[in-house]
């Protein structure tokens, strides 16, 4: 029948991709959670998957991004308030992720028996993977709040005061002094106008006060989530660059000398506020030792890097799942798009990267659980490697998925442009691509045996596959050259990521997936777009596994 009237059920259009349980519909995710030690959390994750994939959550996400935060510098009487106003949908989303414990779950043992729970990091990573699909912008304050504990622990007196408020699953958006709040969120300020990567060039000054606190004066060029209750900030003290905790408000409720100059007008990440701020003698509490600012804040930064990779993997999954969903319902030339050989090849090729990204981020999350030498080495070496590869692979994949959707993918109503605008940010903040490479070079310089240990772990599988063995040989060659030519570091990082992904897929994925991944990513003809470079591939099996497990 000819489809003439607007408003009737349109023919040949895919149904909305909502009401999809993001956990039960995602086989790769379920397997990764089980494999990496978080199987006990499956029932809880199923509930969270239902909430994050619901039609309500999709609406909240749309509102939070359609009506982005607004800065109000002054109240009606001209008093400085620097209040950031959000759409109520944003607060609802924050409450959903906070109730899941994404702001705190891996630290909760600190307030109970002190024994870390096995599988805590992979279980939280699974939550973050789904929360990013629900609405990615709010993950920034959630991530920073969770990660801040790693820095605050350097100063027990501060941890004693702040941890009970951070380790709460009740979201409290009130603007009030910390003591009066049920829970708090934290932000982080390192980047200044003259440089974000080279934080040693920070110009913000910290002058000691008689009461043992510091007066912080200067600026930050990027400070996300300026409505947070406190900020971990780098500033120059007498003994060098140091880390300080700046509460947003003083105990009497007055502003603590932190002026929000303006909000950034960003490409994406719209629901999240990012700002430029000035500090005018703000009261700061020293975290860690004076002059040890970078080592103090680096544990926090490392945790945020894990979250960037997890969130990008989640966005990849969401984009691919939507593309498969659409092409399963849309026909062209008398055939469903997914049955057109060219389209099927493109989708299957994308599915390989989603499999790899998921396997990598959950393996990395498990390393954060562990305290053995091997796991600590893995965490140190593979955090920059995996952040680099996953965050860099995601934008191209999301773009290709958008193309699979045709014109609908380019239109705001469908929500796809939100994914596309969001996805590059994870590669830029918390250490951009080259910075991840420099980080690996630092490990190689200081403790090459740490890298060797991780390569050996990959090698235990590699010996069984000639393609992986060849990749490991390439890694050996790069390792021998890279300290003389730092320009090779990207090649090394990429080869390490691909080899580790290949090893994980060989060990845990069906042969159709691992074989196609190795054939296209570790050998074969040069490829620059999805759907090329794959001479033979069991497209059907790869797609059956990747497709969201929902009724068609």
What is the binding site for ligand FAD (CB under 6 A)? 187-191, 195-197, 222-224, 266, 269, 274, 425, 428-429, 432-435, 438
Nearer to ligand FAD, 24 or 191 (CB): 191
Supply the minimum distance, in Å, between the C-beta of residue 6 and ligand FAD.
38
* Dihedral, CA of residue 14, residue 17, residue 18 and residue 24, to nearest 10: 130
Nearer to ligand FAD, 12 or 197 (CB): 197
Nearer to ligand FAD, 234 or 534 (CB): 234
Q: Is the separation of the CB atoms in 134 and 93 below 8 Å?
A: yes
**Tokens for 123?**
């279980």
Cα–Cα distance measured from residue 22 to residue 33, given in angstroms and rounded to the nearest whole number: 13
Supply the minimum distance, in Å, between the C-beta of residue 162 and ligand FAD.
18
Nearer to ligand FAD, 122 or 230 (CB): 230
Nearer to ligand FAD, 414 or 439 (CB): 439
Q: Is the separation of the CB atoms in 351 and 410 below 8 Å?
A: no
Q: Which helix (H) or strand (E) holds 365?
A: helix 341-369
Q: Degrees (nearest 5) of the Cα angle 375, 381, 387?
A: 110
Buried b (16+ CB within 10 A) or exposed e, 190-199: bbbeeebeeb
Q: Is the separation of the CB atoms in 126 and 102 below 8 Å?
A: no
Supply the minimum distance, in Å, between the C-beta of residue 200 and ligand FAD.
12
Supply the minimum distance, in Å, between the C-beta of residue 436 and ligand FAD.
8
Straight-line distance from the first to the last Cα atom of the chain, in angstroms, rounded to the nearest whole number: 22
Judged on CB neighbours under 10 Å (0-12, 13-18, 19+), 551 is exposed
Supply the minimum distance, in Å, between the C-beta of residue 169 and ligand FAD.
23
The CB-nearest residue to ligand FAD is: 196
Nearer to ligand FAD, 25 or 269 (CB): 269
Nearer to ligand FAD, 28 or 189 (CB): 189
Nearer to ligand FAD, 223 or 246 (CB): 223
Supply the minimum distance, in Å, between the C-beta of residue 287 and ligand FAD.
15
Q: Degrees (nearest 5) of the Cα angle 374, 378, 381?
A: 135
Read off the DSSP letter of residue 423. Answer: T
Supply the minimum distance, in Å, between the C-beta of residue 90 and ligand FAD.
16
**Tokens for 508?**
């845990």
Supply the minimum distance, in Å, between the C-beta of residue 425 and ligand FAD.
5
């Amino acid at each position: 029948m000819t489809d003439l009237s607007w408003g009737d059920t349109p023919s040949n259009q895919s149904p909305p991709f909502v009401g999809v349980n993001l956990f039960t519909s995602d086989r790769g995710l379920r397997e990764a959670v089980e494999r990496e030690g978080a199987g006990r959390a499956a029932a809880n994750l199923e509930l969270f998957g239902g909430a994050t994939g619901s039609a309500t959550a999709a609406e909240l996400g749309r509102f939070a991004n359609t009506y982005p935060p607004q800065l109000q510098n002054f109240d009606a009487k001209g008093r400085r308030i620097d209040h950031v106003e959000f759409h109520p949908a944003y607060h609802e989303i924050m409450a959903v992720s906070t109730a899941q414990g994404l702001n705190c779950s891996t630290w909760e043992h600190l307030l109970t028996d002190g024994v870390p729970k096995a599988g805590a990091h992979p279980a939280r990573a699974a939550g973050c993977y789904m929360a990013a699909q629900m609405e990615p912008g709010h993950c920034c304050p959630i991530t920073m709040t969770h990660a801040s504990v790693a820095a605050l622990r350097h100063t027990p007196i501060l941890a004693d005061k702040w941890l009970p408020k951070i380790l709460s699953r009740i979201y409290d958006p009130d603007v009030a002094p910390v003591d009066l709040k049920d829970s708090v969120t934290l932000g982080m300020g390192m980047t200044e106008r003259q440089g974000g990567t080279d934080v040693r060039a920070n110009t913000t000054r910290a002058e000691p006060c008689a009461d043992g606190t510091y007066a912080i004066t200067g600026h930050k060029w990027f400070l996300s989530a300026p409505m947070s209750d406190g900020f971990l900030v780098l500033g120059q003290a007498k003994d060098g660059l140091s880390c300080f905790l700046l509460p947003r408000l003083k105990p009497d409720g007055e502003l603590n000398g932190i002026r929000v100059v303006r909000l950034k007008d960003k490409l994406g990440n719209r629901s999240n506020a990012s700002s430029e701020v000035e500090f005018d003698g703000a009261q700061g509490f020293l975290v860690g030792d004076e002059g040890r600012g970078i080592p103090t804040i680096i544990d926090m930064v490392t945790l945020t890097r894990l979250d960037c990779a997890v969130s990008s993997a989640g966005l990849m999954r969401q984009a691919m799942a939507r593309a498969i969903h659409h092409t399963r319902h849309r026909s062209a030339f008398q055939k469903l798009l997914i049955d057109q050989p060219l389209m099927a090849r493109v989708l299957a090729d994308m599915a390989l990267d989603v499999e790899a990204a998921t396997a990598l981020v959950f393996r990395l999350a498990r390393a954060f659980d562990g305290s053995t030498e091997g796991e600590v080495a893995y965490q140190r070496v593979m955090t920059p490697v995996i952040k680099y590869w996953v965050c860099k692979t995601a934008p191209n994949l999301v773009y290709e998925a958008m193309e699979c959707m045709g014109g609908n993918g380019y239109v705001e109503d469908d929500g796809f442009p939100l994914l596309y605008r969001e996805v590059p940010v994870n590669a830029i903040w918390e250490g951009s691509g080259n910075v991840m490479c420099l980080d690996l070079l630092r490990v190689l310089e200081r403790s090459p045996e740490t890298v060797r240990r991780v390569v050996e772990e990959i090698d235990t599988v590699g010996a069984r596959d000639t393609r992986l063995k060849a990749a490991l040989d390439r890694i050996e060659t790069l390792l021998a050259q890279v300290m003389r030519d730092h320009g090779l570091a990207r090649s090394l990082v990429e080869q390490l990521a691909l080899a580790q992904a290949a090893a994980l897929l060989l060990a845990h994925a069906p042969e159709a997936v691992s074989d196609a991944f190795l054939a296209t990513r570790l050998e074969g003809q040069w490829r620059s777009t999805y759907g090329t470079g794959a001479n033979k591939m069991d497209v059907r099996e790869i797609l059956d596994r990747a497709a969201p497990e929902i009724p068609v």
